[in-house]
């Protein structure tokens, strides 16, 4: 068994990534303009590598979690700092992020619990109405 198609490649056009993740090319260019991505160029054409693709995945996950691009940018720099031996200051920032993420986790679990309760009540009513 060989690897999946996507993981076996290393070079992507902007349209490839747009298609794969169902976003617009405009969005990708926008992320680059904001410094979240920095694809190579061949002439004027953007060439994305696996690393860029990996960052894009993180960007989109950040968005699903409701973070701003500014936040996501800070978040990505934690990964970069991790790779580039800038250990100083890193742990403090990571701890900050972790604290707020865990607060968000609490909010989320509370919300899920409440919805499950509503669901349960609704089911019980349906039973009575049988």
The residues binding DNA (CB under 7 A) are 13-16, 23-27, 29-31, 34, 43-46, 63, 68-70
- 57's CB contacts (< 8 A; 6+ apart) are 21
Q: Residue 63 or 90: which CB sits closer to DNA?
A: 63
Shortest gap between Cβ of 126 and a copy of itself (angstroms)?
A: 6
Q: Can residue 87 be called a binding residue for a copy of itself (CB under 8 A)?
A: yes
Query: In this chain, which stretch among 6-14, 18-26, 29-37, 103-111 interacts with a copy of itself, using CB under 8 A?
Result: 103-111
* Locus of tokens 């691009």: 69
Cα 112 from Cα 128, distance rounded (Å): 25
Q: With CB cut-offs between 5 and 8 Å by kind, which of a copy of itself, DNA, none does residue 69 bind? A: DNA
Q: Which does 85 bind (CB under 5 to 8 A by kind): a copy of itself, DNA, none?
A: a copy of itself
Task: Please pick, from the candidates 5, 33, 64, 130, the single residue that binds a copy of itself as defined by CB under 8 A.
Answer: 64
The DSSP annotation for the chain comes to: -PPPHHHH---B-HHHHHHHHT--HHHHHHHHHTTS---EEETTEEEB-HHHHHHHHHHHHHHHTT--HHHHHHHHHHHHHHHTT--TTHHHHHHHHHHHHHHHHHHHHHHHHHHHHHHHHHHHHHHHH-
Range in contact with a copy of itself (rule: CB under 8 A) among 13-21, 25-33, 40-48, 120-128: 120-128
Smallest gap from residue 31 Cβ to DNA (A): 7
């Amino acid at each position: 068994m060989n690897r999946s198609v996507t993981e076996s490649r290393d070079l992507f056009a902007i349209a490839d990534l747009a298609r794969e993740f169902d976003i617009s090319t405009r969005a990708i260019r926008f992320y680059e303009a904001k410094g979240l991505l920095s694809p190579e160029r061949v002439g004027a054409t953007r060439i994305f590598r696996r690393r860029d693709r990996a960052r894009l995945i993180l960007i989109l996950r950040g968005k699903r979690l409701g973070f701003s691009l500014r936040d996501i940018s800070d978040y990505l720099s934690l990964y970069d700092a991790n790779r580039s031996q800038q250990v100083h200051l890193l742990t403090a920032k990571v701890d900050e992020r972790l604290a707020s993420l865990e607060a968000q986790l609490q909010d989320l679990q509370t919300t899920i619990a409440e919805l499950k309760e509503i669901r349960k009540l609704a089911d019980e009513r349906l039973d009575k109405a049988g």
